[in-house]
Amino acid sequence: PLISLMLMSCVVQPSSSEENSSSLTSSTELPSSGELPSSNGEPSSSGSTSSSSEEIQDKTNINEIREIALSFTDKVNAQKVYTSNLKATFTAQLLTIHDAWTTQAGYTNRYKLLVANETGSIFVVLSNAGYDYVSKYIADQSVYTFSGLIGIYNGEPEVVMSEGSKPIYLEGTTLTYNLESLSTPVGSIMDAYQTIKNLPVNTKGTGASAQIVKMKLRYLEKLENAVALFSDGVHVFQAHGDSKMNNGLSMDETYDVFAILIIFHFKPELKFITKKVSALKLDFFYEDFTEEMSGTNLYKITYDEGHPTYASNYVYAESLIKVYRFEGYANLYTKDDAYNVVFDDQAHDEYTTKEQAINAKAMFANNKSCLTMFKQSDFDNCPFIEYAVGKKEDKVKIEFYFVAYLLNTDHYWQIQVFEDTIMEVE
């Protein structure tokens, strides 16, 4: 994991080049080559900025910085952006990297970091140069000095570093603060989802809170290298982390998960920070999930980024935290001479193109065992292959439990099948 959970009192252990400072203050200035956002009241690439009448001064306490940022709520522009001339300079630990933040007209900040110290957690906005720099120093605990202007975007405080500037990496420095003391316990996935529903979103259906949460969750399986599936026994939650996050998780183990809540293209997620094994174990029984879902009905669920207030967006969002039961047929489509598994409500002959499968409202398997098959060993490893090959009149109806992974931007549904639930329907 990117960070180890630390349950000790806050201690700063500086390298030989850094002075110890219990208040985590820093005299580091923004690089002179960096360009500060405009202070003439005109919108910059990050949105509107403050007038020059504001006093420029350093703020070092994250909770204080957040309070200041929230006081600017009534100053935001049409894109819900405001950047002040108040400067923040502080030392903090890097918790998560957001390298694909959905931008919109009037807000082009793609790269953000979630950082924390004993005074709280906050987002830091940085340029492409700053992101490239930070990406080189990802470790179990990376500590930096950050310096930028206090702002707010879509209701969430942030510190905006100037274009081209970089945080200062403090090699050999660790912060042993109490991460758990910064977290808010959340009792269930539905509770977390209700919080996510109330997050302000931009015109791309994206929003986040820097408040760290602690949730007791059972690890179910890997969805992607950087995406894991968890459950509280009633609902499921996708967690997004680094590319090795699944390597440190054991199947069916229960963890206290530390994360933040985000919504990305109306997909509710946890942004994973770290975890510890829980003494309390959660159950997960397929027979507890009774909701049926067909491909035809799943394709009726969609979202509209252009209309973020549409209720249908949250019908889509809620569909991603449920476990469904399906009865139907397995099938294949070919792409680049490789075979992939899809699922149909009614038996079909093999699709020769991906577009045919989409038009037929087939659900696309996200399971890696059923994708890009072209060698015999690939077919041998796919648990659906015996049901997917052959003419439609010879196919056997099957049932299984699954979770909806996402509605792809190419407008087809991807699902993750629990492979140990596949059965023939008599």
Give pLDDT, residue 110. Answer: 79
Give pLDDT, residue 191. Answer: 98
359-406: per-residue pLDDT in tens?
A: 999 999 999 999 999 999 999 999 999 999 999 999 999 999 999 999
Give pLDDT, residue 57. Answer: 57
Q: Among residues 103, 318, 77, which one has the least CA distance to residue 204?
A: 103
Give pLDDT, residue 400. Answer: 98
Residue segments in the chain with a per-residue pLDDT below the cut of 70: 1-57, 100-108, 137-140
Which residues have C-beta within 8 Å of that of residue 323, sequence separation ≥ 6?
A: 231, 235, 236, 286, 289, 291, 401, 402, 403
Distance CA(145)–CA(129), nearest Å, equals 16
Give pLDDT, residue 107. Answer: 65
Give pLDDT, residue 135. Answer: 78
180-237: per-residue pLDDT in tens?
A: 999 999 999 999 999 999 999 888 888 999 999 999 999 999 999 999 999 999 999 9
265-275: per-residue pLDDT in tens?
A: 999 999 999 99
Q: Containing H/E element for 171?
A: none
Give pLDDT, residue 38. Answer: 30
Write down all domains in the chain, each with its CATH number in brackets: 12-181 (2.40.50.140), 203-284 (2.40.50.200), 289-424 (2.40.50)
Q: Which residue has the tokens 């910059």?
A: 44
Predicted TM-score of the model (pTM): 0.86
Widest CA span in the chain:
78
Length of the chain: 426
